[in-house]
Amino acid sequence: MTQPDSFKSPNTNVAIELDPQNDGSIVRKAFLIESILNLTSIPLITNTHIVLSYVLDNPAYINPASILFARLFGGIIVGGLTSALWAGLPNTKTGIESRKVVYLMLGMGEVLLIPILAVEATKGGSKDAALSVRACVATIACLLPPLLWRAFVLFVRPEMMGKYREVKRE
């Protein structure tokens, strides 16, 4: 039994015409830059012990569990977040529509990570601290600008994500 023509597969992109005033080019560039920067997390997967020796407050904290969780975290960044950004790169209907979801997802992660890192930084290298203050502050400094950018785009200038209209194919 076949479905009527009114049903579309999610991977079917209809013909669209971009709004010349809001073609999403700035956000697309931001997606590309951020996805490339996310790839700098590959050493967290491939050279985990070395990376952890820089960020942990005490190298004695490096153990099989910390290595596993660091690799899992790196895998989420490289495999999940980078892929989500790549999904929003094309100026197709699905690409444009995915940008808001991707920014909300990434922003929520940052909203959760920043306070966790701030609390860790307040431990100031005490015996209860896992990360060095320097690593916490540097990570917050890397997470805060993208979060502010996402909030600006989502809530102040959502048209920057791009606009389109469907056009009939002839």
Helix (H, G, I), strand (E, B) or coil at 56: strand
* Per-residue pLDDT at 128: 87
Q: For 116-170, write each residue's pLDDT tens digit.
A: 999 999 998 788 888 889 999 999 999 999 999 999 999 999 999 998 888 876 6
pLDDT score at 32? 96
Q: Tell me, what's the pLDDT at 39?
A: 95
On the question of pLDDT at 1 being above 60, the answer is no
Give the per-residue pLDDT at 168. Answer: 77
Instruction: Indicate if the pLDDT at residue 3 is higher than 80.
Output: no
What pLDDT, on a 0 to 100 scale, did the predictor assign at position 4?
Answer: 59
Mapped onto helix, strand or coil, the DSSP state of residue 165 is strand
What's the pTM value of the predicted model, to 2 decimals?
A: 0.83
**Could you please report the per-residue DSSP string of the chain?**
-PPPTT---TTPPPPEEE-TT---HHHHHHHHHHHHHHGGGHHHHHSHHHHHHHHBS-GGG--HHHHHHHHHHHHIIIIIIHHHHHHTSS-SHHHHHHHHHHHHHHHHHHHHHHHHHHHHHHTTT-TT-SB-HHHHHHHHHHHHHHHHHHHIIIII-GGGG--EEE----
pLDDT at 11 (0 to 100): 58
Is the model more confident about 10 or about 82? 82
Instruction: Return the pLDDT at 12.
Output: 61
* Three-class DSSP category at 163: coil
Name the residue ranges covered by the structural domains of the chain: 22-157
Residue 131: strand pairing partners? 56
87-116, pLDDT tens digit by residue? 999 988 889 999 999 999 999 999 999 999
30-83: per-residue pLDDT in tens? 999 999 999 999 999 999 999 999 888 888 889 999 999 999 999 999 999 999
Instruction: Look at residue 2 in the predicted model and tell me its pLDDT.
Output: 60
